[in-house]
Amino acid sequence: MVRSQAEDVDGYLAEVPEERKEALIRLRELCRAELRGFTEVMAYGMPTYERDDIGEISFASQKQYISFYLLRSEVREAFAERLADHDMGKGCLRFRGPEKIDFVLLRDLLRATAAGPGKIC
């Protein structure tokens, strides 16, 4: 998916390929449940969750994968062992298809992020 021009997350989800829609809706629901006190916005063409106007979590439907952006370096470091078997860039966790998404891991990452503010990579 090319960078979305959607004005809100509902519009973004309306644009995603049908085979990914259910997983991305579930991911959004998980973010909203775990990231209390965060604001849901569109930033850089993808759903983003901000605390104090700073994006800490984002997700996107890319051409080859579904990406989950974990922008807190100390959270990534704390979960290094669990992330080791995943396709992980500096701040981007990639899932090759909706069926590959580890929602338990994502829930735990979201909870760790929500626990308190920290440095953004």
Domain extents for the chain? 9-113
User: N- to C-terminal Cα distance for the chain?
Assistant: 24
Residue 2 confidence (pLDDT) = 59
Is 41 or 5 the better-scoring residue by pLDDT? 41
* CATH number assigned to the domain with residue range 9-113, chosen from the 4 options 3.90.1150.200, 1.10.940.10, 3.40.50.1100, 3.20.20.150: 3.90.1150.200
111 near 103, Cβ under 8 Å?
no
The rounded distance, in Å, linking the Cα atoms of 10 and 12 is 5
Q: What is the pLDDT of residues 61-99, one digit of tens each?
A: 999 999 999 999 999 999 999 999 999 988 899 999 999
Q: What is the pLDDT of residues 33-61, one digit of tens each?
A: 999 999 999 999 999 999 999 999 999 99
Residue 3 confidence (pLDDT) = 77
